[in-house]
Amino acid sequence: MKIKKIIQRDIPNAHSLPKAIHPVLKRVYASRNIQTTDDLDYSLSSLFPYDTLTGISNAVLLLQEAIIKKSRILIVADFDADGATSCALAIRGLTLMGAEDIVYVVPNRFEYGYGLTPEIVDVALDYDPDLLITVDNGISSIEGVKRARENGVKVLITDHHLPGNQLPDADAIVNPQLNGDKFPSKNLAGVGVVFYILLALRAALREQGWFDKANLSIPNLAQLLDIVALGTVADVVPLDKNNRIMVAHGLKLIKKDKSIAGIAAILDMAGRPLPTLSASDLGFCIAPRLNAAGRLTDMSLGIECLLTDDTQEAKKMAEQLDQLNKERRSIQTEMQEQATIELGGYLEKSSSAIAQGICLFNPRWHQGVIGILAAKVKETFNRPVIVFAKESEEDSGVIKGSARSINGLHIRDCLEDMTRLNPELILSFGGHAMAAGLTIKESQFELFSECFNEVIKDYISLEDMQDICVTDGELSTEDYSLQLAAEIESAGPWGQKFPEPVFEGKFTVLEKRIVGGNHLKLKLQTDNRILDAIAFNITDEDWPTGTSEILSTYRLGINYFRGDRSLQLLIEYLNPL
């Protein structure tokens, strides 16, 4: 049984919140720096203005010219859910503005790799574009931008990844991460950047009188926030207030069955009822199915699913995405079994091997699934993890890695430090604080692993790597209520850096049984209250015999069954006492 250290969040006072808010929820809000009603104002008018985004005026000029002149616009998308939603949003939004000639290219990760490479530019040139737009990529594409502009193609880069020391020589770059950028939030996903560009473009075209001249209605861009919400949640960017506003409105559209056909079809395929939909459903139900296309084939299927307005076509594509996701799960299970074996030998060789970071490589592993494997290993050991696979089926001597980090370690900065210390070690890299991608020579794997561990020591200590479960404290007997569970459910959207409340407590186990193969159904008692609970993907196989007392962390949930609602504890972690 894995043991975690349980600590409570700091809970400052929140004197300015309305008395009508449940005291527990008020406590939760305060610990997440929500102090006033303004912090809970999720109206669209509260979104940060677009005009502080560096380069957005130049981007608007490029798009205005392309639309008015009926130029061909080509979009180069990334092959994950953020890239797919960014591409679909750009096409739908620009079409509403009057663009008539838009095509897209999404790189196959197995052939072209990530971003606007010179090779993908060569593919794009076959479409004879006038303007090339990157979405969710491009900030590190020095050579790709150069190739495009040498061939007379204008380039607009829209991205949210951290820039390197050198920026590509594009006609315009919009990225809140640029040095000196004054946009108040650095947490926009790629799809959020595209949405802001559309806002600025609409304002410019309206001021110019374009919509009247073109006999077009001024588009209501809020109708596209279902796509923005999906991409934002799928990319696991922090849900600061600005992102929560967009996600909240997107969720409303989906729950009212006003979303695009593709989102509705995937949710139907996943068996998720719309009225009880939450932000986490976007991340756990839709995103994996979209990402499966990019992981196993290419993301075109996912993009087409988000572009179609035909419900039957959307249903067919949702079925295909669901099948690809099942294949991905099968591959992932096999890789996890292999990783478990390899980690066993890895740890036997040196008891300190797990001390800092974990690097794994297997030439048989599927390149499209290594990111998921890295996340699973990270969850198990609470260590930064990089999993490598061969870059291509041919023996190129290059392997591609997917990194996942832990709180307190900025993984991209770590890779940058490694490059500075050993310039020849990493061939290419890019990413965020919590996730990154890179390529190295296969012959350098052992050296890379050693260097990775050494650099990590400068960022984070072993003590800080202890697996910690942070909670919002204990609940009183009176707090176990449907009212509080419903208030918490509607108080979101919850997500990255704005986590759903998790509570802690000691319980007596009255009943327990396994349901669904590997889920533990429990009946618990605390004081004079008897509560239903469920622990997903947890069994009692390694519990001490006769265990009747547990320490648990849990979320307050609502069980919807045949039209009835009942309180249910959703167990996050439990430890027999």
Residue 469 has pLDDT above 90, yes or no: no
Per-residue pLDDT averaged across 286-311, rounded? Answer: 93
pLDDT at 54: 95
- Look at residue 394 and give its three-state secondary structure: coil
Residue among 571, 576, 508 at smallest CA distance from 544: 576
Q: How far apart are CA 510 and CA 524, in angstroms?
A: 6
Residue among 571, 481, 562, 491 at smallest CA distance from 523: 571
What is the C-alpha radius of gyration for the chain, rounded to an integer number of angstroms? Answer: 25
Q: How far apart are CA 7 and CA 10, in angstroms?
A: 9
Contact 191, 86 (CB under 8 A): yes
**Phi, then psi, of 198 in degrees rounded to 5:** -65, -40
Quote the mean pLDDT of the chain. Answer: 91
pLDDT at 14: 56
Q: Which helix (H) or strand (E) holds 557?
A: strand 549-561
Residue 487 has pLDDT above 70, yes or no: yes
Write out the DSSP string of 250-261.
Answer: HHHHHHTT-S-H
Contact 429, 415 (CB under 8 A): yes
Contacts of 470 (CB under 8 A, 6+ apart): 7, 8, 9, 502
497-537 confidence digits (pLDDT tens): 999 999 999 999 999 889 888 889 999 999 889 999 999 88
Show me where the domains of the chain are located: 45-322, 350-465, 469-576
- Tokens 């509705």 appear where? 264
Per-residue pLDDT averaged across 459-472, rounded? Answer: 80
pLDDT at 564: 86
Residue among 447, 336, 353 at smallest CA distance from 399: 447
Q: How far apart are CA 198 and CA 113, in angstroms?
A: 28
- Helix ranges restricted to H, 408-542: 411-421, 445-456, 482-490
Residues 497, 499, 503, 508, CA torsion sign: negative
Q: How far apart are CA 414 and CA 433, in angstroms?
A: 9
Contact 353, 346 (CB under 8 A): yes
pLDDT at 351: 41
Structure tokens of 163?
């820039």
Share of the chain above pLDDT 90, in %: 69
pLDDT at 349: 44
Amino acid of residue 208: Q
pLDDT at 350: 42
45-322 — its CATH code? 3.90.1640.30
Q: How far apart are CA 551 and CA 388, in angstroms?
A: 37
pLDDT at 188: 97
Residue 233 has pLDDT above 90, yes or no: yes
Residue among 116, 99, 109 at smallest CA distance from 170: 116
Contact 496, 523 (CB under 8 A): no
Buried b (16+ CB within 10 A) or exposed e, 179-217: eebebebebbbbbbbbbbbbbbbbebbeeeebbeeeeee
pLDDT at 348: 46
pLDDT at 42: 95
* pLDDT higher at 360 or 380: 360
Q: How far apart are CA 90 and CA 239, in angstroms?
A: 22
Residue 113: pLDDT band with limits 50, 70, 90:
low
Contacts of 119 (CB under 8 A, 6+ apart): 111, 112
Residue 109: pLDDT band with limits 50, 70, 90:
low
User: Are domains 350-465 and 469-576 of this chain identical in fold?
Assistant: no
Length in residues, the chain: 577
Residue 126: pLDDT band with limits 50, 70, 90:
very high
Residue range 350-465 forms a domain whose CATH class is alpha beta
Q: How far apart are CA 429 and CA 452, in angstroms?
A: 14
Lowest mean pLDDT among 193-197, 322-326, 450-454, 568-572: 450-454
Residue 114 has pLDDT above 80, yes or no: no
Count helices and strands (H / E) in the chain.
18, 17
Q: How far apart are CA 535 and CA 522, in angstroms?
A: 8
Q: What is the pTM of this model?
A: 0.91
299-302-306 Cα angle (round to 5): 140
Residue 176: pLDDT band with limits 50, 70, 90:
very high
Task: Please say whether the structural domain 469-576 has been given the CATH code 3.40.1410.10.
Answer: no
57-74 confidence digits (pLDDT tens): 999 999 999 999 999 999
Q: How far apart are CA 90 and CA 92, in angstroms?
A: 6
5-48 confidence digits (pLDDT tens): 788 888 776 567 888 899 999 999 999 999 888 999 999 999 99
